[in-house]
Chains A and B, each alone.
Chain A
Amino acid sequence: GEDVEQSLFLSVREGDSSVINCTYTDSSSTYLYWYKQEPGAGLQLLTYIFSNMDMKQDQRLTVLLNKKDKHLSLRIADTQTGDSAIYFCAERAGGSYIPTFGRGTSLIVHP
């Protein structure tokens, strides 16, 4: 079945870059998403990438996709304390309404 895997925790120093990794198993994945969840809140869509792309950059965020290895990463440059949150990776096959979510990676940013 479909599966999306993420490590549960990542700790970084303020000002450093953060890299959050995700692997997925569904080879028919067409859309890959990154969401951010702050404490007590819903999920906020950060960025997404189509499976025919290798990279997408949006200000401090860089998404890299390795389709061969089914590996997705989110890089946050110059990480700030406000970036502390849970980050969810999700994938969805074309024509399907239902995305599959990973369990989320808790990013902790310390001074």
Chain B
Amino acid sequence: DGGITQSPKYLFRKEGQNVTLSCEQNLNHDAMYWYRQDPGQGLRLIYYSQIVNDFQKGDIAEGYSVSREKKESFPLTVTSAQKNPTAFYLCASSPQDSPLHFGNGTRLTVT
């Protein structure tokens, strides 16, 4: 089955630690995206990548980093510089000029 896999589903970290969220797709999509979702705030774009080895900042990139070394993978690192990292993180992918397909999300809790 083709799809987008985010892992793990739940992640717990101590404040001050970096943490990396995984996103893998086997849909052969060119573009991949990371969104953050907080209650009542909808989706906010963190980073996106239209092609391998290239990515752009979204609306709330501060405190996050990404890489796109392979077409199928777009990991997101939440660094210790992110002031409020606890949130639900959603990865998505799309072919050019088509709707986004979403993974099932990772809920990150930092204490």
Contacts and interface: CB of A to CB of B under 8 A. Distances in A.
Interface residue tally of chain B, by bracket? 20 to 34
Given A42-B90, A45-B99, A97 B105 contact: no
Contacts of A44: 102
Contacts of A94: 97
B104 A88 contact: no
Contacts of B31: 97
A71 interface: no
B101 to A, nearest CB: 7
A98 B45 contact: yes
A43 B48 CA distance: 17
Given A33-B99, A42-B4, A99-B100, 10 more contacts: A8-B40, A42-B103, A48-B99, A88-B42, A94-B97, A97-B48, A97-B50, A98-B48, A103-B41, A103-B42
Across chains A and B, which 3 residue pairs bring their CB atoms closest together, nearest first?
A42-B102, A103-B42, A43-B102
Interface of A: 8, 31, 33, 35, 40-45, 48, 88, 94-95, 97-99, 101-104
